[in-house]
């Protein structure tokens, strides 16, 4: 029993930490991108070597100056921005392990996709994150990396290809969370392996009285821009587990492509907007809306229960009063072992997400949720662990359309 309490609160604590660290990281990243874009020439700073911006916050006025090269003598107090990133990655990694590797039969392994042992699933997950970073880093350092546009296209293709790979081995939600974790690993890797070490080298050169290698700053800037464009897509992927229509296996890589595009293009708008409101690229919103709409339509087209639901709608005329009875029996037979006040499923101590499906009144009240999670999509039962049949799902569809 104690292990249930530990699993539950452990997950809550890790997620709490992860969300807070990510807010701090993304918040500071947005702040500096905004500041950079808003800098204007300043008389004390030579042209092309930085700039200044004024901001007002919390009742005070801030005059912020940017020096592209470090000052001749370093200030006594120099704040580094790195722990937000490291903490986000570490807490995210442990949260991934806590939920997806420690409880993989519920969340990660879908035998209809691939039969894996928990150790193999975790090995593939962790190995792919490491391999993903290595491939990305080599790509950036290769001659191809000198062409920014080509690199962006290749990086985008790489992420989509990895999501296609994940969709071949993991459950839908497992595939999406790993695609997000891969992007996040690239982002934190950029901070840990490139941006911060390069800044340290620049400072060491200055302290030694030498001119720092300008390539170091250029490389750090390139990685920093990648991170900027990845922030919005990664956040969507991190919350995607709440949206079963987003984990539709057959079209999952296409959904990842559309959402990544939409997130990156919105970021692009804000980069332009902060630099100069009058030149903001408004087309970005249209492009993002089109991509998002396409993702919606695609997930609906590909939803595994779409055909049987449509068929049920066509049969609606032949009303059958026994329908509700049958639906309740199916839900009690396939869902209530977990979704009851006192679940009998090993490893589940309380109805997941507070959704109870044992009493008739509860089932009737949750009809919409049943439709979304067990009929239109096959998010529930998790990985079809209680073996609900296609006929039973079709019966639920009929019941839902007749209510």
The residue nearest ligand HEC at its CB is 335
We find the least distance from the C-beta atom of residue 339 to ligand HEC, in angstroms, to be 5
Closer to ligand HEC by CB, 258 or 380: give it: 380
Which residue reads 């090995």 in tokens? 123
Nearer to ligand HEC, 205 or 385 (CB): 385
Nearer to ligand HEC, 176 or 370 (CB): 370
Q: How far is the CB of 259 from ligand HEC (least distance, A)?
A: 18
Nearer to ligand HEC, 122 or 338 (CB): 338
Closer of 72 and 361 to ligand HEC (Cβ): 361
Residue with Cβ nearer ligand HEC (122 or 246): 246
DSSP state of 98: I
Distance in Å, CB of 112 to ligand HEC, minimum: 15
Q: Residue 173: which of 113, 217, 83, 233 has the closest Cα?
A: 113
Site residues (vs ligand HEC, CB under 6 A): 106, 241-242, 331, 334-335, 337-339, 345, 348, 352-353, 355, 357, 369-370, 373-374, 380-382, 385-386, 388
Q: Toward ligand HEC, which CB reaches closer, 145 or 180?
A: 180
Indicate the length of the chain as a whole number. 403
Q: How far is Cα 116 from Cα 104, in angstroms, rounded to an integer?
A: 10
Which of 232, 242, 227 is CA-nearest to residue 355?
242
| Least distance (Å) between residue 228 CB and ligand HEC | 29
- On whether the CB atoms of residues 39 and 66 are closer than 8 A, the answer is yes
Please choose, from the candidates 13, 80, 69, the residue with its C-alpha nearest in 3D space to the C-alpha of residue 45.
69
Q: Which is nearer to ligand HEC, 27 or 347 (CB)?
A: 347
Least distance (Å) between residue 61 CB and ligand HEC: 45
Q: How far is the CB of 128 from ligand HEC (least distance, A)?
A: 22
State how far the Cα of 7 lies from the Cα of 253, in Å rounded to an integer.
31
| Residue 69 or 385 with smaller CB distance to ligand HEC | 385
Helical (H) or strand (E) element with 60: strand 60-67
What is the distance between the alpha carbons of residues 222 and 214, in angstroms, rounded to a whole number? 13
CA distance 67 to 69: 5
Q: 123-128 contacts: CB < 8 A, separation 24 or more?
A: 124/169, 124/170, 125/96, 125/100, 125/101, 125/170, 125/174, 125/178, 125/181, 128/162, 128/165, 128/166, 128/178, 128/182
Shortest Cβ 16–ligand HEC spacing (Å): 15
Residue 53 CA: distances (Å) to CA of 39, 50, 75, 293, 301 = 5, 10, 20, 38, 49
Least gap, CB of 22 to ligand HEC (angstroms): 18
Instruction: Say which residue the tokens 């792919």 belong to.
Output: 128
Query: What is the nearest approach in angstroms of ligand HEC to the Cβ of residue 376?
Result: 11
- At closest approach, how far in Å is the CB of 256 from ligand HEC? 19
Residue 67, CB-side half-sphere exposure with 13 Å CA sphere = 9
The CA dihedral of 187, 175, 249, 26, to the nearest 10 degrees, is -30
Shortest reach from residue 206's CB to ligand HEC, in Å:
50
**Is 312 strand, coil or helix?**
helix
* 320/329 with CB nearer ligand HEC: 329
Sign of CA dihedral 103, 105, 108, 109: positive
Helix or strand holding residue 230 (H, E): helix 214-239
For ligand HEC, give the closer residue by CB, 95 or 374: 374
Q: Which two tokens stand for residue 328?
A: 């309740």
Residue 385: helix, strand or coil by DSSP? Answer: coil
């Amino acid at each position: 029993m104690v292990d249930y309490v530990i699993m539950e609160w452990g997950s809550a604590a890790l997620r709490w930490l992860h969300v807070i660290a990510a807010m701090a990281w993304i918040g500071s990243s947005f702040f500096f991108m905004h500041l950079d874009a808003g800098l204007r020439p300043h008389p004390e700073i030579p042209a092309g070597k930085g700039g200044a911006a004024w901001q007002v916050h919390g009742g005070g006025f801030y005059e912020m100056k940017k020096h592209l090269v470090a000052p001749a003598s370093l200030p006594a107090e120099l704040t580094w921005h790195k722990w937000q990133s490291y903490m986000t990655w570490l807490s995210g990694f442990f949260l991934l392990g806590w939920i997806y590797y420690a409880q993989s039969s519920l969340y990660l392994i879908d035998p209809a996709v691939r039969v894996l042992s928990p150790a193999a699933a975790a090995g593939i997950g962790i190995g792919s994150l490491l391999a993903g970073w290595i491939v990305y880093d080599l790509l950036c350092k290769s001659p191809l990396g000198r062409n920014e546009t080509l690199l962006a296209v290749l990086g985008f293709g790489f992420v989509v290809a990895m999501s296609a790979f994940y969709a071949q081995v993991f459950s839908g939600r497992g595939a999406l969370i790993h695609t997000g974790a891969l992007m996040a690993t690239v982002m934190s890797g950029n901070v840990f392996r490139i941006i911060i070490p390069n800044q340290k080298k620049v400072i060491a050169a200055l302290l030694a009285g030498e001119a720092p290698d300008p390539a170091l700053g250029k490389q750090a800037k390139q990685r920093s821009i990648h991170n900027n464009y990845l922030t919005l897509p990664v956040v969507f992927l991190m919350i995607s587990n709440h949206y079963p229509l987003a984990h539709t296996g057959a079209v999952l890589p296409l959904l990842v492509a559309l959402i990544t595009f939409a997130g990156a293009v919105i970021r692009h708008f804000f980069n332009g907007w902060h630099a100069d409101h009058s030149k903001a690229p408004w087309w970005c919103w249209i492009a993002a809306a089109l991509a998002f709409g396409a993702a919606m339509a695609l997930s609906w087209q590909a939803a595994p229960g779409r055909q049987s639901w449509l068929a049920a709608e066509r049969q609606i005329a032949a009303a059958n009063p026994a329908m509700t009875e049958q639906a309740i029996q199916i839900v009690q037979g396939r869902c209530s072992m977990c979704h009851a006040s006192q679940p009998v499923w090993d490893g589940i101590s309380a109805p997941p997400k507070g959704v109870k499906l044992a009493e008739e009144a509860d089932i009737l009240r949750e009809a919409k949720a049943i439709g979304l999670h067990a009929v239109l999509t096959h998010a529930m039962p998790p990985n079809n662990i209680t073996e609900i049949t296609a006929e039973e799902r079709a019966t639920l569809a009929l019941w839902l359309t007749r209510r």
